[in-house]
Every structure is written in C-alpha cells, then in structure tokens.
C-alpha cells in the first residue's frame, strides 16, 4: 500500500513546474522546522513527567576514563530521571546519548535561553540553530551561571540566532569574563606564565585512522629527551638501511618508533637478563646492569582482535582481502595484518573458530571465557535498541535472571548460563534492564526483542534496530 502511495506522490511531483517545486520545498522545510520545534516541547514535557527521586538518579553525561559527570542541562534546569531517557530515544530511533542531548537542549532553551526558545516557536530561528547555542552554554568550561547564559541568550536572539561557531565561542568567552566565572589564569602572564604551564605530552590520535593503516602521533618532550629520541630513531633507521631496507628515511624512522614501543620498556627498566649464577648486561643495546630491579617482559602486550572471512578450497584456506578489527571498529586489510605478523617480535595467537550458532552451556552462574568470547563475537555491540557500545567492553547479562537459590530448593534453573540466555549490555543499559520495566528476549541467536515500560517493542539484530509494532496514528486535530 505504501509503495502505491509513493508512486502516486512521485507522479504528482513530476507534474510540478520549477516554481511549484520551489514553493513545495519551502513549505516542506517550514513543516520540518515546526516539527523540530514541537519535538523540543515534547522532550521538555517528557522530562517534566520524570523527575528523579534523588540527584544520584539524575541523567548525566559521563566522562570516558573518569568518574566525572556533567549534567544534561545547565544550572537552573530541572533534573531528569536517568532511566526515562532510553525509552524516548528508542521511540525516536536514536541512541540514549542522543536522547540525553535532545532533552538537555530542550530544558536549556526553555529555562536558560527563553528568548531563543520563543524565536524557535515563532519560526524565526530553526531548532537546529538554537540547539547549537544550547550545546555551547551547557558544556561551557567553566560552567555558565543562569545570568551568564541569559546574557548569551540576549546577544544571540538579537541577531535571530544567526551566529557561527567562532562567534558563539567568543560570546561564551565574553560571558565568562563579564560575569567573572573563571579563576585568574597565571599561565597567561606574559612574563612568568611559562612557570605555570608544563607543555609536555604525547598524544596518539587513534580515533582517526588513515586508509593506509597509519595514525598520527604528536608530542612535546624535554629538550634532552627529544634529542635522545631523535638519535635513537636515526640509529635504528640507519640499522634498517644497513640490513637492506629500501624504504625512505621517514618510513624507517616511523618503524624505529614502533621498535622502541615494543622493546624500550625492558631496556630502560630492567636492561638485564639474569642467568643462573650471574648477570648478563645487554651491552649491544646500551643496557645497564641493575641487579636491584626484577626482570620485566620485553614489551607491553597489545591485543588486536581481527576477524576475516575464509573459504576452504582445494588449495587450502583462502582469506578475504578485508576484515574487521574490533579495536576502534575499523576495517582492516589482510596485507596490513600479514605485515604485523611478519615482525619477529610479534607474538601471534590464533584462536579456534567458535560456532556462533552453537548453544554452549556451563554449570553455575559464572561465565567461562569460551562462552563469553562467543557471546561477544555474536553480538558485536550492546544489544539495547540503537546502542553501539562495543561488546568487548560490555557486561554479559543473563537474559532471564539466574536464580541462585533454585538448586538448593530443588527447582529447575530458570536462567541457566548458556549462549541462548546471555547477551552483551553496556553498564548503563544493564542497570536499566535490572532496575526498570524494560524487558527483552532472544528469539534466535543474536536477535533480541525488547519491550519498553510503555509497551513499545523493538527488534535488535546485527543490522540494527527496527520497531516491531507500527506507530500509532496521531489523533486528528480538532477544528
């Protein structure tokens, strides 16, 4: 039916003149802006219906690698219950993080940027522009007070929201200065500022991987450390050339830095090998005997999980040219993997193929490594609707809860530890499943059906999330 309607609609569009198409496009854009503005109102009202029972149960953004949390909206905005966010996100087809942003922007605009909020609903400022301002005022460092946010609101509203990113940054900086929100920056002193800044750092930009399989590294070192590093790279590059390498100097220096990463820990901290009855200093590499230090491994272990499809032919096992690397969810060329494995210092572990459809079982509550690995490979990510957290960093959840008292009381175990009762859930959605009315079931290996507290149902598989029940039609507006 929908395909037939689409054909009819296409026929209508084909009959329109150029002027008619422009009028139609303008009307559709206005409707989209109205819908986005209405969605902000709906999101704010959803937040009103779900206040948290305490500040500890309020929705917040967590900072990766720390316990620090940021509120979803600024000072003066009401708090929102943590677990209400996921259902709104699932119904809208977005992640829980995106739903937090939507609710936070709505509250920020309504409570701290009221002039901009009014302009959005009058149609003079599109919702996406207003949300970009809200994002800046919510996450300003240091945080903006309600008065400072109001000042930004006045400035932006005066130009009908037409500010770019750079202008917005300047406005926020001016608000911080005008309302004296920042502590004096001693590092900004033109004479003695350098005394309060330590610029040393090493940054590995592993979020941006080049198609050639390289990443960018940048650093600021002590002068002496920098010179020593330069000499070490030059020596290693020269050694590679003497051994027959025909690669450029830049490539050889880059490889030398990788060699340092694999060996320098042992050279600096242990630098010795102990045989029975005496010390043996590694003089060839410039090592220094240190009998007071224990032996350390030659290098830090780095684990990469690479997956390639393979076919068994008469000539043997044939791998496909591209695969998937779990680390950073990147594509991987077979040639790159072969070059890494060809290094004599690389220890390669090949794990046996696990049948993802086989139902593995284990007695008791604890999950053995083999079953854990199978579930991780099967699910790939957290299996909550629209969540993309990698499975290897998730909890393994018993879909039907394990009953620790069943055996003692002579009852059958309702939630056994087996593949068809286990799923990957990130910590946030694991807590949501445990403490709220969200429920889910596995209908086949790696396929899950979720039911929200308000009865909305979603199917989650390797291809993503789709709603099971069609959306209910909106009631007709009263004249």
* Residue predicted with more confidence, 273 or 67: 67
Within a domain: 196: no
For the chain, give the percent of residues with pLDDT over 70.
77
Phi-psi domain of 57 (left: phi exceeds 0; alpha: psi -120 through 50; beta: other): alpha
Within a domain: 28: yes
49 lies in the same domain as 149: yes
81 lies in the same domain as 28: yes
Within a domain: 35: yes
Within a domain: 380: yes
35 lies in the same domain as 147: yes
State the pLDDT at residue 449.
97
Using the 3D structure, point to which of 186, 209, 243 is the last residue of a domain.
186
Confidence (pTM): 0.72
137 lies in the same domain as 273: no
Within a domain: 473: no
Region 84-113 average pLDDT: 97
134 lies in the same domain as 162: yes
> What are the residues whose beta carbons fall under 8 Å from the beta carbon of 463, sequence distance 6 or more?
none
As for how many domains the chain has, the answer is 4
386 lies in the same domain as 433: yes
Within a domain: 337: yes
100 lies in the same domain as 127: yes
175 lies in the same domain as 316: no
42 lies in the same domain as 181: yes
140 lies in the same domain as 33: yes
What are 168-217's pLDDT values in tens digits? 999 999 999 999 998 776 666 666 666 677 788 888 887 777 767 788 89
* Residue predicted with more confidence, 3 or 433: 433
What are 290-322's pLDDT values in tens digits? 444 444 444 445 566 777 776 777 777 666 677
169 lies in the same domain as 77: yes
Within a domain: 5: no
Residue for token pair 């590092």: 187
62 lies in the same domain as 182: yes
Q: Which domain holds residue 273?
A: 201-285
Within a domain: 242: yes
Region 449-477 average pLDDT: 82
């Amino acid at each position: 039916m929908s395909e037939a309607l689409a054909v009819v609609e296409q026929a209508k569009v084909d009959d329109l003149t150029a002027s008619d198409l422009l009028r139609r496009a303008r009307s559709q854009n206005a409707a989209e802006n109205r819908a986005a503005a209405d969605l902000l109102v709906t999101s704010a009202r959803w937040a009103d219906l779900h206040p948290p029972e305490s500040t500890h149960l309020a929705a917040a953004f967590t900072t990766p690698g720390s316990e620090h949390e940021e509120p979803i909206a600024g000072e003066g905005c009401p708090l929102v219950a943590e677990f209400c966010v996921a259902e709104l996100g699932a119904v809208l087809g977005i992640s829980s993080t995106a739903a937090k942003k939507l609710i936070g922007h709505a509250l920020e605009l309504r409570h701290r940027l009221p002039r901009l909020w009014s302009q959005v609903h009058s149609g003079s400022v599109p919702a996406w522009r207003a949300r970009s301002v809200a994002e800046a005022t919510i996450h300003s460092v240091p945080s903006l007070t309600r008065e400072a946010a109001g000042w930004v609101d006045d400035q932006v509203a005066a130009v009908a929201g037409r500010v770019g990113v750079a202008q917005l940054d300047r406005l926020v900086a001016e608000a911080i200065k005008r309302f004296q929100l920042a502590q004096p920056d001693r590092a900004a002193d033109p004479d003695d500022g350098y005394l309060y800044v330590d610029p040393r750092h090493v940054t590995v930009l592993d979020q941006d991987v080049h198609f050639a399989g390289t990443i960018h590294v940048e650093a600021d070192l002590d002068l002496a450390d920098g010179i020593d590093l330069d000499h070490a790279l030059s020596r290693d590059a020269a050694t590679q050339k003497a051994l027959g390498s025909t690669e450029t100097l830049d490539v050889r220096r880059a490889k030398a830095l990788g060699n340092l990463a694999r060996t320098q820990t042992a050279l600096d901290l242990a630098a010795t090998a102990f045989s029975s009855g005496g010390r043996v200093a590694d003089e060839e590499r410039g090592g220094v005997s240190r009998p007071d230090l224990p032996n350390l491994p030659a290098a830090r272990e780095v684990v990469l999980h690479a997956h390639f499809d393979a076919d068994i032919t008469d000539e043997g096992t044939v791998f496909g040219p591209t695969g998937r690397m779990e680390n950073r969810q990147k594509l991987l060329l077979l040639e790159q993997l072969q070059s890494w494995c060809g290094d004599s210092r690389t220890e390669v572990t090949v794990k046996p193929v696990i049948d993802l459809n086989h139902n593995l079982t284990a007695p008791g509550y604890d999950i053995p490594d083999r079953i854990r690995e199978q579930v991780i490979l099967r699910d790939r990510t957290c299996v909550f609707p629209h969540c993309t957290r990698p499975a290897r960093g998730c909890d393994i959840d018993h879909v039907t809860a394990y009953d620790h008292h069943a055996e003692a009381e002579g009852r059958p175990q309702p939630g056994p530890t087996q593949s068809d009762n286990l799923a990957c859930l990130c910590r946030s959605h694991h807590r949501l499943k445990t403490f709220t009315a969200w429920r889910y079931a596995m209908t086949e290996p790696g396929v899950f059906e979720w039911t929200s507290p308000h009865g909305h149902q979603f199917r989650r598989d390797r291809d993503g999330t789709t709603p099971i029940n069609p959306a209910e039609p909106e009631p007709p507006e009263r004249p």
